[in-house]
Amino acid sequence: MGDQQILILGAPGAGKGTQSKRLAEEYDLEHVTTGDALRENRDMETEHGTPREYMEAGELVPDELVNEIVEEALSSADGYVLDGYPRNESQVEYLQRITDLDVVLHLEVSEETLVDRLAGRRVDPETGDNYHVEFDMPDDEEVRERLIQREDDQEETVRERLRVFEENTEPVIDHYEDHEGYVRIDGEQSPDEVWEEIKEAVDERTE
Ligand code: AP5
Ligand code: MG
């Protein structure tokens, strides 16, 4: 297993999941993603209610719960790519206490593109892989037929997720701009072009 410790930042729909999957494969890293972990446990009863209630409204799930998920996942991984966390300043402080980062990738994408990507996203319920009706459909017909839309990709929820991102997570990105491993990536390009830029940035910073 690789030992690179990578954080990937970006708005909802920026391509964090798509590129994290490639990073995890290429460098043999653990893909630690709070969104997927919460979706797998969406009906778990906690003292704050279930994750589903927050996610379907496009709101952040309480810090306590996500901090615990991340701490546990990072403690069992050498190298990792962290996707979907931290999303507010309090999560930033928590993360700083439990790990160091070698590379901080910031996928930059315009709001108009984000909305198109989220509206057209389809997910394979068996593998969790993300596809897109226009930009990226699987060749295998069996996979194509079983694709579903994520519950929080409805138009109204998308708008709320983007608002929550602007309010809570943009300050997080500002914070990491001063990190020595920070690199801005043009996320508007095709998935392969974005990947080339990411790979170059990671190789440069971790050799
Ligand atoms: P989460 O699952 O993390 O959602 P998100 O941050 O909104 O991001 P997405 O997964 O929607 O987008 P992505 O950047 O991964 O894009 P993707 O690669 O799929 O979180 C969901 C919810 O969980 C939150 O709203 C919150 O409630 C809760 N939560 C999670 N973490 C939390 C935390 N830390 N604290 C509190 N609550 C938390 O790509 C999108 C689409 O575009 C796909 O269809 C893809 O095929 C396509 N695409 C990707 N790249 C390209 C490209 N270059 N060109 C064309 N199409 C592309
Ligand atoms: Mg994702």
Judge whether residue 166 has pLDDT over 90. Answer: yes
Q: How far is the CA of 117 from the centre of ligand 1 (A)?
A: 10
What pLDDT is stored for residue 71 in this prediction? Answer: 97
Using the atom order of ligand 1, give the atom closest to the CA of residue 36.
2
Cβ–Cβ under 8 Å, residues 181 and 101: yes
**Ligand 1 lining (C-beta closer than 6 Å):** 10, 12-18, 34-35, 38, 54-55, 58-61, 66, 84-85, 87, 91, 117, 120-121, 130-132, 135-136, 152, 161, 190-191, 194
Average pLDDT over the chain reads 96
pLDDT tens figures, 59-101 = 999 999 999 999 999 999 999 999 999 999 999 999 999 999 9
Using the atom order of ligand 1, give the atom closest to the CA of residue 189.
53
Q: Best of 121, 172, 186 to mutate for ligand 1, by most ligand atoms within 8 A of CB?
A: 121
Question: Which ligand does the CA of 9 lie closest to?
Answer: 1
Judge whether residue 207 has pLDDT over 90. Answer: no
In the chain, what is the straight-line distance between the N-terminal and C-terminal CA atoms, in Å? 15
pLDDT tens figures, 10-69 = 999 999 999 999 999 999 999 999 999 999 999 999 999 999 999 999 999 999 999 999
- Rounded-to-integer distance, Cα 64 and Cα 176, Å: 22
Task: Map 72-120 to HEC letters.
Answer: HHHHCCCCEEEECCCCCHHHHHHHHHHCCCCEEEEEECCHHHHHHHHHH
Q: How far is the CA of 50 from the centre of ligand 2 (A)?
A: 20
What pLDDT is stored for residue 23 in this prediction? Answer: 98
